Each structure stands twice: as structure tokens, then as C-alpha cells.
Structure 1
Amino acid sequence: MIFASGLVGAMGLVFACSDDGSEGNTSVAITLGDTLGSADDDIDSGDENETTEEGSTGPLLDMEDTTTSGTPGCAAGDSTCNQIDLLFVIDNSGTMGEEQVNLSANFPLLVQKLQDLQDSEGNPLTPDVNIMVTTTDLGHPQCTAFQPDGYEPAQGSPVDTPCIDRLDDFTGLGSNPPSFPEACTSGCPVSLKPSDSFIHFEGDNTNVPGNDVEGALSCIGPQGVVGCGYEAPLEAMLQALNPGAQWNQGTKPFLRDGATLAVVVITDEADCSVRSPDGYAYFTSADLDTYWEINPDTQTKSQATSAVCWNAGVDCGTPDANGVYADCTSIDTGVLHPLSRYLTYLQDELIASQNKEVIMLGILGVPPVTAHNESPPFEPTEGGVESLVYRQWVDGAYPDGDILPEDIADEVSAAQKEFEFGIGPGCTGEDGMGGFTGQAVPPVRVKEVCEALNEDDKIRCCIESVCDSDFSDAINCLTGIIQDSIAPIG
């Protein structure tokens, strides 16, 4: 979440979401649709060959050849299909400590809700569940200098190392780093992991020692706070769902034919799924400062901040006299991947062509939800997205202004916040004891992808607040949508 001013590294670079970030290589190769190719291509490019960043070429793999579950499973067309593939994409940047503490506390509830799942008519179900965890870190050149020793961006690949074995990931960088070991240790006192790169369970049949599914998720779920601050949840999601990826191949793949796919995105920042390699230039070159904000200290466009992600991917028009925008929508400027890249795969390939159920939960920078439907799918009915206001930062101490006590003490202004993020906060988190857990940037790109999954008579998207002090309602909404999507037995 947004706290004080952005991290100014040794090279004078201001990073997204004031994160003490890290970086690795650019995103792994993927083009989905009819073919599999370079991440630089559009999703529906249909090229015959791919060219990697090293310049080598190779044959593309046809989608039919890369989606196999080894057994018919739900692909056989059985209307009683009970398979669920659940993907977590978790922001592991420097301001996500409190949110991961919150999420970790709700992992046992999620497992219990899944184990007790019923079909859409209330009949007991023994779900066949895969749970995979990855991060929002695709790597970014601006984060390279801050990458801790031994850390590699997940780039959409499964994270299956127990957090207790990587506890250093829960202490950030800098002279006064954030530290949240309790996000791990509270649920993972001893090392526990599945025998595969993701958790699997169906009744008492699991790939977890001692069948302790709750314990395993509490160990591999928390991701730490050393990831790159240019979060790329949409591209991380797509990389994780790449049908040609190792974890989606063989006799025990994560992504299974016909299974319900549920994606959970948890982030306090705007999506920054950069279209490499050209998109990176807008973060590194002063000659391409189109989307940079003016630094109030120098009155120049002197640094690339998290505002680049917002300005290059979102259009809000002109604010009114109170600094409020009528609306903000995604745009394709060539810096970030277009949303069609993700919607073509989710809507056209998975839902339309493969007849899969695809649902999404976004725990994002929107105001807390104040009311939910009392029946499945338990979707928000008040607050949340409906209460979201896109606006500029407001000077003054919270709640009259947007500046939190720590920033007031450092004499941080609204202009500095605007320079760092390009938009005012979508929500402010309070801990219930007079303190704050930070602030979050409002979502646009992830929100639009999520909401595009909805149909007139079918809810597939649930958006809850990352500023909420308890994620149990979000878990209820996720499992409620899953329950609502499963056909009745018989």
C-alpha cells in the first residue's frame, strides 16, 4: 500500500508504491490464442514462429497440443464436474505486509469453505481442487539494483517453497525496512509443502504430508515484501495459465481441461503489465517521458515513478473543480499489454471455445464493501466498486485530506503523491486501533478484466477492498461464485 514518499534508490529512481522492489528478467515467452509465441506479440497474433529476446526462433506449439490433463476428467462433458483450479496472484511488493498478514489469517477459512462446497442446488460436493500461488513480479529493469541475493521474480511460475524457508523475503530493503515475519510465522511455524508445485486435494486424497492442506496453503501462500514495485498481475496471471508451461503439462497439470478456473488477484497498485521490450523505454528514458509526472521538488519530469503505470494504461479525462474525475478507463498506448490480450484468452479461448467456467476475485484498491447478497454468490451490493471515486490527492491530514500521519511528519504534500502515483487513493486502510495500514491505488485494468467476465444472468467477478481489515467476506464471495457455477449433481 501507499505509505510515505516513494523509495529513492541509490540511482535516484523512484519506485512504484514506495516499494523496496526487486527485479529479474523480462517475462517468459507466451502468446495465447491459436498459437504460443513471444510475450511481445498480441495474444491473437497467429505468427508461425516466435523470436525470443535472444533472437532465436523456434516452432510454435498449437493450443490443442499444450492443453492436456492426462485423463478425461471434466473434459468428458460430465455435468457433475467437481474440478476447481484456483490461482492466487499475490502482490509481493514492499507495502503488502499487512495485507499478507490478513490473507494468511484467512487461508484456513478458504480451505474449509472449499472442502464444504456444495453445488448450485445445495447438494454436498467433494471438490477436486488444485491451488497454485504466484506473485505479481514479472521483473522490471528499474528494479534490478534492488533485487535481494537469491531472489528471482516468479514471472507467473508456481511458488511452492514454504515461507518459513524464505523468511528474509518478509523484510524489505532500505535503511528502515518494513518487516512482517508474522505474515508467515503465524500460519507456518514449520516447513510444509505439497509434493507437486501446487496443492491438490480431493477429500482425504492430497499431495500434502499429513493431509494438512490448510497448513500447506498457509506456508506457500504468503509471498513476502521484496518483489518489484511495478506490479504486473494480469501478465503474471497469463503466464501462470500458459498451457505450454511445465506446470500445466503432463499427467498432473495445474490447469485441467473442463475444470472451473478461479483467479484471485490481490494488489494495492495499478496493473503494470509492461509490453517488453519497447514499453520499458518509457520507464528508463527521459526522452520518452510522455507519461511521467512533474516532480514538485524540481518542477521537471525528472524521474519515472509508479505514475507511469497509471498514465500509460488509464485515461481519466479532465478533473472537475474538486479534482474528481467522471470516470477512468483503460487505454492502449503501446506501453502496457492491451486488455484484449487477457480477455481473448479468458473469454474467447477458455469460456467460449473450451466451455470452461472462469471466475475472478479481485482484492483491490476500492472502498470496503458494506453489504453483500445474503445468498450465493454473496456478491457485493453496496460500497466497494459502487463507492469508488477517481480523484486527485488532497492536501491535509486524513480524514479531511489524504495525507497519513507518517507522511504529515515528513511534510509530504499532495503534489508529491500525485508525482508518485498519478491518481489519488481508492481506499485507506485502518487497523481499528487508531493506526493505518496504508492506502491503495484504485484499479482500472484488473477491474475491467474481472467485470468483463460477467454476463447478464451470470456473475463471475467479485471485487473486494484490499483496505479491508478482514478478507473473510472476499473468501465467501469467491466460494459463493464457485458454488453458483457448479452444476447440480445428477
Structure 2
Amino acid sequence: MSLVAAFVGASGCSKTIECLDLPGGCADDGYTHSETVGETVGETEGDPTNQEPGLTVLTVNKDVDILFVIDNSGSMGEEQALLATSVGAIIDVLEDPDVGANYRIGITTTDNGNPWCPSGATTPEAGKLVASSCKSRLGDFSFNNSVDVQDLACNDICPLSQAELEILPTTTDVDANAKPRPWLESIAGAKNIPDAISMSDAFACIAPQGINGCGFESQLESMYLALIRTQNADEASYGFLRSSAILAVIFLTDEADCSYNKSYSEIFEQDGNKVFWSDPAASFPTSAVCWNAGVECSGDPSNYASCDAVNKDVNGQSNVSDANAVLHPLSRYIGLLDDFEQQKQELNAEQEIIVGLIGGVDNTGEPYYADVGGTNPVFQNTFGIGPGCEAPNPSNPNEPAQAVPPVRLRDVVEAFTPGNMFSICESDYSGALDSIVDRIRDQLQPACYTQCVLDSDPATPLVEPTCTVEEDPPGNANTTAIEECLRDANGYVIDPQTNDYTMPGGQANVCYALLSDKTGLTPSAHDDMSAQCIDAAFNLEFKIARRPGFPAVGGTSITATCSVAEFPEVDCPGIGG
């Protein structure tokens, strides 16, 4: 929604502020901005020299889209279980009343097929989103007739059958027809699963993807295809991404990226060029092909100084053009994410794509590269490098669980969210997910009112603003007044069912709250200003609350008119931070 505020000061001057529903703070740039809910923001319009002074942008956007890319190869049973049971760290933050995110969570796998993973042997998702209970896919939790993690990775952690985990019909910004979508969402307090089911339980059932996926994991290509599918009207995931939403991509994997160009599939074939095989005389390739085809290391092999992503052609020649690279070049993936980021930054210059990895790094998030041929020839032969981390293996205490250090994935993370890598060898991923969601929360900036409002009753301890608020749906010539959220003698009344502000009357589906308590002067926390608004010396913050199931219609704008102080430098010293 767009929050346009016209402030009329006691001196008679008028200041107009347009507030977009976007994360990232306020910009005093002298331009008029326009915004639509859940759709593309319009172009900057008008001559800035003819605008009223004091134009700014206020944040009220709470939209977050999260894509998980989960490795579903044979070694990933315990890791999927750990993710499923740790994700509450993300859900708790997103649903915290102080955050109140309108979020979507989509899940795909790393399986994008391979000549050694023929159709029928695996069922590559190739970026399709999966939203079904693992109990309906128990066959996926056995690998090679020797490993069975049905209980470990599904039955012991998923409390819901597929019938209980019903995905309810919803609409999207690009599809007004309500139907079940292949993702989890909670928007304006309305979930797309039954009310009695928590999002954490739903994720615990959907996140485990099994261990029968292709062992030549295409983490980056799966991400790429998943994001591309969301733009295609013929795909079930169409509309998953919202133009103004914060986008976070989280990888969970214990191997190197093997996103190969299918034009060069001969690098895997028995009668092809075996320049990347650990053993050209072998009857089948190992995952070492993926490492050897896309990485070069320098320095002492017992502890390489560096390992870097490079383009190699089918003959093993390094530093070739993107077109001749047997693994898709990183520019393909960094470019796609950068395109999304630039589109979002047209709406909010400070919004950034978030990329996180739970993979083969140590507990400080640092990768370690070393050959271990003499001490661990099987691992070296299988993966082309020694392990980046190790952990106890509950399935086989004599063989520790080991993960391959990332290089290509590392570079994509570092391009967007430096330092956002965490060890897959940890026994709990809550800390990793806490850190990742903190990056999301940092972009969900509060709706600071960026002018000094007039205190209509200086005798009371809090600033008492005088404001009117109106809602203007698209295509409607008439605006509708929005009432303030319900108050009683103790302050704002919180609905125990939604843990949100209470609507003021029978038919109201939206209300506003005015927050002006900077120092805990009242016993209620629901009129407290956020630390960000306080630090910037503002004296008012807006909260817009909606009845669950009644989100704003695309294109809706909200206008507020407040009286502002005649002498802001006296009433709000240091305003703006």
C-alpha cells in the first residue's frame, strides 16, 4: 500500500509526504513517488522543482519471499531433519508482532537431472516448488536399497498427514482465481493452511525432500529455474514472487554445485571426454567431475591458499568464455539475482537480495580447502577435494558425516550477502537461521513519520498527534476514512486471536495505530516506537493493521493528514538522525 501524508503545520505551510509500502528507510529527494500494493511501483513523476518541500518516503512494507533450495541426495537425511526442526527460528521472527511479516516460503530441490540420473531413477524437480507432506513421499527417503531415513527425516518430525496438511486456495497479485499454491504463506494474518496447524509444523512436513535425488546436485541451476518458473503464467509457482517483497534464497547442501550446461553433457558420459573424472578408467563418474570442471586451487595442497571458480571447456582449458563453459558460468546466477535486485531497488534503493548457505564450511562460516588423497582417498576420489567440515554420523558412528567446501555457491553468497555462510556439520541450525532472518529483519524497517508532528495536548506525557487517514482503492473515485484501532483506558486493545490490533467496529477491515511512546511511559508495549524511529529523533510511527484474510487490494493507497510542529528544531531536535 502507499501511504501519502499531507502535513499542515500551525504556521499554515503545507508539507506533502508520500509513504511507500517498501522496506529501507526514507529518502528526501524532492520527487513525488507512486506505489501500488503488490504490484510494480510507477515511475517518478513531475518536475521536482515544482514540488512542495519535505517530500519523503516512509516504510510500511512487510512482504518477504523465501526460497529454500534443499539438497535431496543420498547423504542428506539428518540435515533435512535438522533444518525442519530448526526453522522455528525463522517463523518466530517473521510472526513476531514487532515484525509482522507477510511471508511466503517455497521449497525446491537440487535435482535438475543428469545423464547418470535417468528419468525414473530420480524425479528431478528442476526448480518446481514442492508443498506436500513428506509422509505422502516416504518412498523418497530410501537410497540405493541400503539407506532408509523414513523415520529420521520424516515420521519422527512431521506430525501431519497429507490430508491434514491441506494447502488452502489463495489468490496472488497476478492471478485473482483462488486455488492451492505450492508454497506456504501468511499474509495479513491469513495462512494458506488450516488455522489449527502452525507454520513450523507445516514446514517440518514439507521441508524434508528425501534422499533419492540426483547425486550430481545443481544447486544454482535449481534456484535459477525456480525463480524463472515464478514468472511463467503456465507454472504452478507463478506469482510466488512479489515485486516489492524482500527476496531471500537459502541453500542447504553438503556438496559442490554441479549446474552443468546440458550442451556439454559428454563430460559425464562413458564414451565422452573424461578429463574431469578422478579415474578415467572407471565405469562411472563421481561428483569429483563437478569440482574439477569448475574450480582451480592454488598453494599447498594440504591447505590451499585459495580455491576459485573458473570457466573450463570440455578439454579442461581454463578461463574460457561463458558460452564454452561446461558448468554454467556464475554470471548466469549472479546476473539473474542482480536483475531482481535492481527491479526491487527501483521501488526502494536500499533493498537487497539476501542469499544464505548452510553448507561445507567450519563453525565460523569459513571454507577450508585441502587434498586428502593420502589419508582419505575415497573422499578425494568421490568429490575432488577434502571435506570442509565433519560431524558425527548417527547412522554410522564409524564414518563421520562430511561435507564438500563450497566455491561456486560461496561466490554467489559473497556477491549479495557477504559472510552469510554457516556449517551444515552443526547439530542445530537455529543459530544459522537466526542470523539469516536477522538480515531479513534489518530490511523490514518501521514506518517512521519523518516530520515532527504537533503535540495537540502537551499536558500528557506522550505526543498526542492529530491525524486523519483515508484509503483509496484503485479505480474508485471515492476515498474511505480509516478509523484508529480500538483503544480502551489501558491503550490499544490487542486481539487475542490474531495477537494484533483490534478493529474499531463491526465492518472495519483495516485500522491504524499511532505509536509515540519512546521511553516506556505507558505499561502497554503496543504504543512503543521502534528503536529505528527513536534513533532518528522522529516522534511518531504508523502501524496499519488489517483483519486476517482482508489484505489490501493491489493499487490501494492510504493517505494521512497530520498537523506538524511549527518549530521542529525545538520540538524534535536532531530529527532525521
Q: TM-score, normalised by structure 1?
A: 0.69
Equivalence for 1:219? 205
Corresponding residue to 1:489 among 418, 431, 447: 447
Q: 1:233 to 1:319 in 2, by over 3 A?
A: same
Alpha-carbon distance in structure 2 between the residues aligned to 1:446 and 1:421: 15
- d(CA) in 2 for partners of 1:145, 1:83: 37
The equivalent of 2:290 in structure 1 is 309
Partner of 1:367: 362
What residue number does 1:184 align with?
154
Return the match for 1:128 from 90, 102, 105: 102
Q: 1:208 to 1:155 in 2, by over 3 A?
A: same
Is 1:449 aligned to 2:422, yes or no? no
> Could you tell me how far apart the structure 2 residues matched to 1:79 and 1:217 are?
29
Q: Note if 1:155 corresponds to 2:142.
A: no
Identity rate, percent = 35
Counterpart code for 2:285: A
Partner of 1:72: 38
Q: Cα gap change, 1:266/1:246 in structure 2, threshold over 3 Å: closer, same or farther?
A: farther
Residue in 2 that maps onto 1:115: 95
SS in 1 for 2:401: strand
Query: For 2:147, what is the secondary structure of its paired residue?
Result: coil
Separation in 1 of the partners of 2:395 and 2:328? 41
Per the alignment, in what secondary structure is the counterpart of residue 224 of structure 2? Answer: helix
Which residue of structure 1 aligns with residue 438 of structure 2?
480
> Which residue of 2 is the match for residue 326 of structure 1?
305
Q: Distance in 1 between matches of 2:166 and 2:71?
A: 21
2:246 is matched with 260
Cα offsets for 1:25-79 (capped at 9, x unmatched): xxxxxxxxxxxxxxxxxxxxxxxxxxxxxxxxxxxxxxxxxxxx99535847863
**Structure 2 CA distance for aligned equivalents of residues 93 and 324 of structure 1:** 28
Query: Alpha-carbon deviation of 1:107?
Result: 2.5
Question: In the aligned structure 2, how far is the partner of 1:229 from the partner of 1:330?
Answer: 20
Kept in 1: contact 2:63–2:246 (CA 8 A): yes
One-letter amino acid matched to 2:93? K
1:245 paired residue number: 232
The question of whether the paired residues in 2 share the 8 Å contact of 1:94 and 1:178 is answered with no
Return closer, same or farther for 1:253/1:350 CA change in 2, 3 Å cut-off.
same
Structure 2, unaligned runs of 5 or more: 1-34, 43-56, 169-180, 313-324, 346-350, 449-577
Q: Is the 8 A contact 1:98 1:437 kept in 2?
A: no
Does residue 1:354 correspond to 2:344, yes or no? Answer: yes
| SS of alignment partner, residue 293 of structure 2 | helix
**Residues 164 and 189 in structure 1, CA contact (< 8 A), matched pair in contact too:** no
Distance 1:132 1:211, change over 3 A: farther
Structure 1 439/273 Cα, relative in aligned 2: closer, same or farther at 3 Å?
same
8 Å contact from structure 1 (residues 194, 216) kept in 2:
no
Using the alignment, how far apart are the partners of 1:136 and 1:433 within structure 2? 23
CA distance in structure 2 between the aligned counterparts of 1:431 and 1:324, rounded to whole angstroms? 25
- Residue matched to 1:429: 391
Tell me if the contact between 2:38 and 2:242 (Cα under 8 Å) persists in the aligned partners: no
5 Å-filtered alignment, 1:1-80, equals: 71-72=37-38, 75=41, 79-80=59-60
Structure 1 residue identity aligned to 2:383: F
Which of 154, 160, 167 matches 1:194?
167
Supply the distance in 1 between the matched residues of 2:219 and 2:287 (Cα, whole angstroms).
15
Kindly report the root-mean-square deviation, in angstroms, between the aligned alpha carbons of the 2 structures.
Answer: 2.6
Output the CA distance in 1 between the equivalents of 2:63 and 2:136. Answer: 30
How much does 1:434 deviate?
Answer: 10
Distance 2:385 2:355 in 1: 25
**Within 2, Cα distance between the matches of 1:86 and 1:74?**
19
The list of structure 1 runs, each at least 4 consecutive aligned residues, that deviate by more than 6 angstroms after superposition, is 247-250
Measure the CA separation in 2 of the matches of 1:142 and 1:433.
26
Deviation (angstroms), 1:216: 1.6
Shift of 1:346: 1.0
Is 1:336 paired with 2:327? yes
1:142 corresponds to which of 116, 122, 126: 116
Change (3 A) 1:331 1:392: same
Inter-partner Cα distance in structure 2 for 1:423 and 1:142 = 21
Measure the CA separation in 1 of the matches of 2:394 and 2:75.
19
- Which secondary structure state, in structure 2, belongs to the residue aligned with residue 316 of structure 1? strand
CA contact (8 A) 2:58 2:447 kept: no
- Check 1:186–1:415 CA distance in 2 against 1; reply closer, same or farther (3 A cut): closer
Q: Shift of residue 392 of structure 1?
A: 0.6
Tell me the TM-score normalised to structure 2 length: 0.59
Equivalence map 1:461-480=2 (5 Å):
462-480=420-438
Shift of 1:432: 9.1
The answer to whether residue 190 in structure 2 is matched with residue 208 in structure 1 is no
Tell me whether 1:384 sits opposite 2:365 in the alignment: yes
Q: 1:476 to 1:74 in 2, by over 3 A?
A: farther
Q: Residue 72 of structure 2 corresponds to which residue in structure 1?
A: 92
Mark the CA change 1:234 to 1:289 in structure 2 (over 3 Å): closer, same or farther.
Answer: same
d(CA) in 1 for partners of 2:115, 2:342: 37
- Please give the secondary structure, in 2, of the residue aligned with 1:144: coil
Q: Shift in Å at residue 453 of structure 1?
A: 0.8
The question of 1:290 aligning with 2:281 is answered no
Deviation at 1:310, TM superposition (A): 0.2
Q: Structure 2 counterpart of 1:85, which letter?
A: D
1:249 Cα shift? 8.2
Provide the C-alpha distance between the structure 1 equivalents of 2:103 and 2:297, rounded to a whole number of angstroms: 40
Q: Which has the higher helix share?
A: 1
CA distance, structure 2, for counterparts of residue 145 and residue 74 of structure 1: 39
Letter aligned with residue 72 of structure 1: G
Q: Check conservation: 1:439, 1:467, Cα contact below 8 A.
A: yes
Q: What secondary structure does 1:142 align onto?
A: coil
Which has the greater radius of gyration?
2
Write out per-residue CA displacement over residues 95-138 of structure 1, whole angstroms, 9 at most, x where no aligned residue: 00110111111133321222117xxxxxx121100100110000
The residue aligned with 1:277 is 263
- Evaluate the alpha carbon distance shift between residue 188 and residue 477 of structure 1 in structure 2; reply closer, same or farther with a 3 A threshold: same
Could you list the per-position Cα deviations for residues 318-359 of structure 1 after superposition, in whole angstroms to 9, with x for gaps in the alignment?
A: 534xx2211000011211100000111112x11224315310
Query: CA distance change for structure 1 residues 264 and 204 in 2, over 3 Å: closer, same or farther?
Result: same
Greater relative CO, 1 or 2 (CA 8 Å, sep 6+): 1
**Structure 1 unpaired stretches of 5+:** 1-68, 118-123, 369-382, 397-413
Flag the 1:187–1:247 CA change in 2: closer, same or farther, 3 A. Answer: farther
Question: Paired residues, what number?
Answer: 365
For 1:227-251, what per-residue CA distance to the aligned partner results, in whole angstroms no more than 9, with x for missing partners? 000001111111111143348789x
Give the partner amino acid of 2:38. P
1:133/1:158 contact within 8 Å kept: yes
Q: Which amino acid aligns with 1:351?
A: E
Structure 2 counterpart of 1:245, which letter?
N
Assess if the C-alpha contact under 8 Å between 2:252 and 2:358 holds in 1. Answer: yes
Q: 2:221 aligns with which of 222, 235, 249?
A: 235
